[in-house]
Structure 1
Amino acid sequence: MTRVIEVYDTTLRDGTQAENFNLSVEDKVRITLALDQLGLDFVEGGWPGSNPMSVDYFRKIKQQRLNHTLIAAFGSTRHIKNNAQQDPNLQALIAAETPAITIFGKSWDIHVTDALHISLEENLEIIEDTLFFLRSHVDRLIYDAEHFFDGFKHNRDFALATLTRAVQGGADTLVLCDTNGGTLPHELPAIIGAVRHHLEAIKASVRLGIHAHNDSETAVANSLMAVEQGIDHVQGTMNGYGERCGNANLTSILPALIFKMKRECHAGKNIEALYKTSRLVNEMANLPHNRYQPYVGESAFAHKGGIHVSAVTRNPLTYEHIEPEKVGNNRRILISDQAGRANILHKAGQWGLHLKADDPLLSTIISDLKEKENQGYKYEAAEASFELLMREALGLQRKFFRVEGFRVMNNKYRIDKPPLTEATIRLYVGGHEVHTASMGDGPVNALDRALRKALTRFYPCLEEMELTDYKVRVLSGEHGTEAKVRVLVESTDGKCQWRTVGVSINIIEASWQALIDSVNYKLLKNEGLLG
C-alpha cells in the first residue's frame, strides 16, 4: 500500500542561504504558522548550533500552537574530536526541544577525505554515534545523506554503507540529497532502486526521502521522479529559494503530487492556500513575486492572444492544465495589441459593462487599443487605464475634475544639497477653480501631492490612496534623451491595488497621465461605479 507522502519544508534554513533572501525571527515564526495552516508535515527551523537567531526562533516557536506541523532542528554529525555526549552541536539540538531532528552526514568519500580529513571508517562511526545518541531525545530522527547521488556514482559501496550505519543509529527517515544539483531525472530510477534493494537486504524499515537542488533546473522533476520510484518523504522550499540556483520548489511539487500524480499528503486538504502562502514568503523576505512561476505566479493563468481567450472562455481546459482556483490563484485575461474581440468582451463582462459582440463600439475600442499600443501604451500591466479607456468609448466616464495646467520646478540651489522640487496645479471641480502648490521628493511625488491637495476637500476618499510602485521604461534608445518613455504607476487604498500607464517623450507628462488615471479610477471605485 502506498504511504502518505510527507512534505518537509526547509525555507527557514536552506532557503535563507539564497542570495538576498533574509528573514527576521518574527518573519520565520509568521511563515511557520502559514506553513502549518497549509498543512506541511515538517518545518525545518534552523541550525541551533550555528547562530543565536535560530536559538531565538526555537524558543519563540514553542510558544505557538501548531495544528499539524512538526518543527525540526538541523545539525551535523559530531566532530571527530568529540564524543556525542560532549559535542556542542548535538547539545544545542537537544536544547532546542523540537519533536524532530535532522542530521546530515557525508556520503561522498571525497568529502570525507578532503573536507573532513578523516578516514572512511571514522565517518561511518560518527554517523552511527550521532544518531544513536540523539535517538532517545527526539520523536522523529531524520538523516540527510549529503551529496548522496554524487557519492553513489563515485563509490557505490561506501555511499550505501553510510545508509546502513544511519539505520543502525536509529534513523526513522533516510533522505537522499542531490546537494550539488547535478543529477538528472533519468539517473534516479537505477540509484533509488539500488538503495531500496540494499535496505531490503539489511531488513531496514525506514522512510526514504529526496532533497534536490536546482543547479540543473531539474529539482522539481527529480523530486517527482523520486516519488514515482517509491520515495515518500519530499524536502523543498517555498518558491524554490535556496543557495546558488535554489532548492526543489514546493509550490510546484505540491500541486503536481496532489492533482497530477494523485498522491495523498496532508497539505492536499488545504492546497487552495498555496497561492497566498507563496506570496507571504516573498513579502516577509521583501522580494518581488515571480509572475512567471508555475501555479502561483501572476501570469500562470494569464491569457493574452485573442484565439486563446476565445477558447478559454468556452472551455478553460483548452489552455489551462488545472483550474487556477484549486491553488488559490485566478484566471486573468490580458489586454494587448494581440487582443481579439473575445478579450474585450470578457473584460467588459468582468467590469459590469454591457457590450455585445455585434456592437459597433467594439470595433472602435479595438481600434483605439491598437493605436494606443502603437504609441507605446501597454495595458496588460495597467488594466485600470484600459477600463477607463473603455468607459470613455462607451460614454460612461464621469468627469470628476478638469485640469487647466501644471508646472514642476527643480531647484538645485546648492551643489552639496539635494534639489528642491515644487509642483503647482490649476484645475476646476464643478464651478470651483483650485490653484495649489506642493513640495515633494522629486517631480512625480510633488505632482501627486499637489493633485491630491487640490482634490481632497472635494473627494476626501483620496486621503486613503497612496502610490506603491513607480516604473519607467525607455521605449526606444535610437533617439537618445528624446526617446519615448512609458511610466507604470501602482496605487492602493489599503483594500485593493490598481495599475495605470502613461506614455510621452517627456517623463513628467507620462507620469502625469498615469497619476490622473489612478485618481480617476479611485474616484470611480469609491462611488461604486466600477464592476
Structure 2
Amino acid sequence: MRHVTIYDTTLRDGAQAEELNLTTQDKVRIALKLDELGIHYIEGGWPGANPTDQKFFEEIKKHPFKNAKLTAFGSTHLARTTPEACPNLAGLLAAETSVITIFGKTWDLHATTALGIPLERNLELIANSVAYLNERVDEVIFDAEHFFDGYKHNPEYALQAIRAAHEAGAARLILCDTNGGSLPSQVAEAVTEVKKHLPDASFGIHAHNDSEVAVANSIEAVRLGASQVQGTINGYGERCGNANLCSVIPNLELKMGIETIGRDNLSRLVATSHYVSETANLRPFLRQPFVGTSAFAHKGGIHVSAIMKDSKTYEHIEPEAVGNEQRVLLSDQAGKSNILFKARELGYDLKKNDPTVDRLLKELKLKESMGYEYSVADASFELILLRALGKPLDYFHFRNFFVVDAKREEDAEPFTEATVIVDVKGQQEHTAATGMGPVNALDRALRKGLERFYPNLADIKLHDFKVRVLSGAVRDTGGTASFVRVLVESGDKNEHWTTMGVSHNIIEASWQAVVDAINYKLFKDEHK
C-alpha cells in the first residue's frame, strides 16, 4: 500500500489565522494531541520570531513525541551574509529539532522585488542554506514558496530553484501554492513537469485555500506522486486558510486507499478537530466535511426513511470511520421516519401506524413554525414525546411568577428579584430570590421552592445560555418585539442536556427552557 506522510502546520501557519491566538501551553497541548492522532511531522513555529514560539520549543522538550517528528520553520539565510553568520539559521539550529523546514523564493518576481536581489543570488541562498543545515540535522525540507505562481510566470526559473534545493540535499521539495490561486488542472501541469525534470526527487504539496480548492489541489498532487501533504487541522490559516487535513486525510485513506495516519487513528479525527477548535477558543464549523456535527445529519423525511433501510443511500462513508456519528434532525421538514428514529434513539419503540406518531408530527411541525428547533434541544423533544406517550411529568405545577428589574443609578448594576409560586406534592411553595438578571433570579427562586422535595436538583449546573432573535416565525412582529428562542444547556455529574423555549418575551422563553431542564433532570433520576 502506498504511504503519504502528513505534515501539520497548525501551530505556525494555522496560528496566523484571524481570531486565532495560541499561548505556549495551548501549542503544547495541541502538539501532543496531534502526536496522539499519528501525524508524522508537527511544525512548532519559527524559533526567534516571537516569544511564544521560542518558549514552545523550550517547553516541548519536556514532552517527547511517540509518533511525530518536531519541525522548526524558517527562511533561507539573509542575502547580506553567509549561512554560518546568519541569525535566522542559528535560531533554527538552537531549537534542536531533528527536522528543519526552510522556505525560499521560487517566483522570480519575489526574488527581484521582495528580496531585491539578482536571480542567481537567490539560487545561492537556497543551495547554501539547505547544504549548511543538511550537515547539522537529520532532515531538511524545502518549502518552494510561490512555486505554482512562479511556474506560471517563469517555469524555467521555478524549476531551477527547486533543483538547487534538491542538489544541495533537501530530503523533500514542497511545492507551495502560497497565494492559493491555482486550480487543480494548473497544479497537475506543474507537478507533471517537476516529475520530468527531477524524477528522483521526493516532493509534497502545501496549498492555501483562497480559491476553495486547497484540498482538491492536495489530492491531485498526491494522485500524481506527492509523498507528503502539508496542511492544518480544520483548515485554519492566514486569509482563507490552508488545506484542511480533516478532509485530506480521510479522502486519501478512505477514497484512494493511501495510508496516512492509519485507519485506527482515523477514528480520532473528530475528537482532534474539536479539541483544536476548543483550545483555540473558536466555534467548530458545523458543516465541515467528515468532522462537522452536521456532516452526517439528516433532516428531510425521505432521507431519513432511506438511511433507516441502508445508510449508504445518503452517506458517502460510515461516520464512525472518522469518529463521527449519524444524526437525525427534527424540524418542519420531518416525516414519520424522523420521529421513529429519534424515539428509538431515546429508547422508545414506536410503530409507524401508532397514532402517537401522527400527533407528535403535527405538534412538531406547528411548534417548528413558531420558532422551536428541536434538532438542537433533544431534552425538550424527549419531554414532548413522554407527554404524548402519556408519561406523567407532574413533579410540580406552575401557578405564578413575578420578576422585578430595577436600576437606581446610572453606573450601578440593576437589581433583580423573582417570586415564584408552584404546587409541589400537595403543597404550595411561595419563594423569592435575587439574581444576576431575571433568568438567574427565576432559576434560583424555582429551585428554592423545589429542592426541599427534590434535593438532587442541587446537582444541576448551567453550562450555556443562548438567545437568538427569530425572523419568519408565526406572529413575528419584528424589531424589539420579535420572537426569541432561548437554549439552555444544563448538566449534572452524569450527563449534559439542552432545553428550549420560544416567546416574544425573553423571560417567558427562558422560563420554558429552565422548567424543561428541571423536569428532564427529575424524570431521568426517577427512571435510573
State the match for 1:286 in structure 2. 281
Task: Please name the residue that 2:405 is paired with.
Answer: 410
Once the 2 structures are TM-superposed, how far is the Cα of residue 210 of structure 1 from its aligned partner?
A: 0.3
Q: CA deviation at 1:428?
A: 2.7
Q: Whole-Å Cα distance in 2 between the matches of residues 255 and 155 of structure 1?
A: 35
**Structure 2 residue aligned with 1:389:** 384
Counterpart Cα distance in 1 of 2:296 and 2:216: 21
Whether the 8 Å contact between 1:402 and 1:427 is mirrored in structure 2 is: yes
Q: Kindly state the Cα deviation for residue 327 of structure 1 after the two structures are TM-superposed.
A: 0.5
8 Å contact 1:173–1:208 — kept in the other structure? yes
% same residue: 54
1:164 corresponds to which residue? Answer: 163
Give, in whole Å, the separation in 1 of the partners of 2:230 and 2:368: 45
Distance 1:301 1:80 in 2: 52
SS in 1 for 2:242: coil
In structure 2, what residue type is equivalent to 1:359? Answer: D
Give the counterpart letter for 2:204 in structure 1.
Answer: G
Q: Which deviates further from its counterpart, 389-398 or 468-477?
A: 468-477
Match of 2:298 among 286, 303, 310: 303
Query: What amino acid is the match of 1:157?
Result: E
Secondary structure of the equivalent of 2:294? coil
1:388–1:397 Cα contact (<8 Å) kept: no
Give the aligned partner of residue 79 of structure 1: 78
How many aligned residue pairs are there? 524
CA distance in 1, matches of 2:313, 2:432: 54
Q: What TM-score comes out, normalization by structure 1 length?
A: 0.96
Compute the TM-score of the two structures, normalised by the length of structure 2.
0.96
**Hey, what does 1:318 align to over in structure 2?**
313
The more displaced of 213-222 and 443-452 is 443-452
Indicate which of 425, 431, 435 corresponds to 1:436.
431
Cα deviation, residue 348, structure 1: 1.2
Between the aligned partners of 1:479 and 1:199, the Cα distance in structure 2 is: 65
CA–CA distance in 2 between the matches of 1:469 and 1:444?
13
Question: What is the one-letter code of the residue matched to 2:187?
Answer: L
Q: State the Cα distance separating 1:495 from its structure 2 match.
A: 4.2
Contact 1:39 1:269 survives alignment (8 Å)? no
Report the secondary structure of 1:320's partner residue.
Answer: coil
Q: Which residue, out of 262, 270, 274, partners 2:265?
A: 270
Q: Where do residues 20-59 of structure 1 align in structure 2 (5 Å cutoff)?
A: 20-59=19-58
Matching residue's letter, 1:208: F
Cα displacement (A) at 1:219: 0.4
Find 1:239's aligned residue among 222, 234, 241: 234
CA distance in structure 2 between the partners assigned to 1:386 and 1:483 by the alignment: 23
Q: Residues 528, 122 of structure 1: CA spacing in aligned structure 2 closer, same or farther, 3 A cutoff? A: farther
Aligned residue type for 2:118? S
Question: Alignment partner of 2:431: what SS?
Answer: strand
Distance 2:363 2:140 in 1: 65
Deviations along 1:458-513, one digit per CA (max 9) or x if unpaired, are 33333332222222222246443332222222223354332211111211101110
Matched, 1:109 2:104: no
User: Which is worse superposed, 457-466 or 209-218?
Assistant: 457-466
CA deviations 1:195-242 (Å, max 9, x no partner) are: 111113xxxx33211000000000011001111111110000000000
User: How does 1:348-427 map onto structure 2 within 5 Å?
Assistant: 348-427=343-422
Counterpart CA distance in 1 for 2:47 and 2:495 is: 40
* Shift in alpha-carbon separation, 1:123–1:464, aligned structure 2, 3 A: farther
Structure 1 position 449, deviation (Å): 2.5
Q: Read off the aligned partner of 1:135 and give its amino acid letter.
A: N
- Residue 236 of structure 2 aligns with an amino acid whose one-letter code is Y
Shift in alpha-carbon separation, 1:495–1:145, aligned structure 2, 3 A: farther
Task: Give the 3 Å change call, closer, same or farther, for CA 466–363 of structure 1 in structure 2.
Answer: same
Q: Whole-Å Cα distance in 2 between the matches of residues 327 and 294 of structure 1?
A: 11
SS class of match (2:374): coil
Determine if the alignment matches structure 1 residue 214 to structure 2 residue 213: no
Shift of 1:177: 0.3
In the alignment, what sits opposite 1:526?
Answer: 525
Q: Does the residue aligned with 2:445 lie in a helix, a strand or coil?
A: helix
Task: Find the aligned partners of 1:489 and 1:30 in 2 and give their Cα distance.
Answer: 30
Mapped to 1, the partners of 2:456 and 2:372 lie a distance apart of 28
Classify the secondary structure of the residue corresponding to 2:62. coil
- Using the alignment, how far apart are the partners of 2:15 and 2:493 within structure 1? 29
SS of equivalent to 2:350: coil
Corresponding position of 1:197: 196
* Structure 2 alignment gaps of length 5 or more: none
Q: Secondary structure at the match of 2:416?
A: strand
Range moving further from structure 2, 150-159 or 436-445: 436-445
Deviations 1:257-297 (A, max 9, x none): 00001101234331000000000001101111111111111
For the 8 Å contact 1:467–1:491, the answer to whether it is kept is: yes
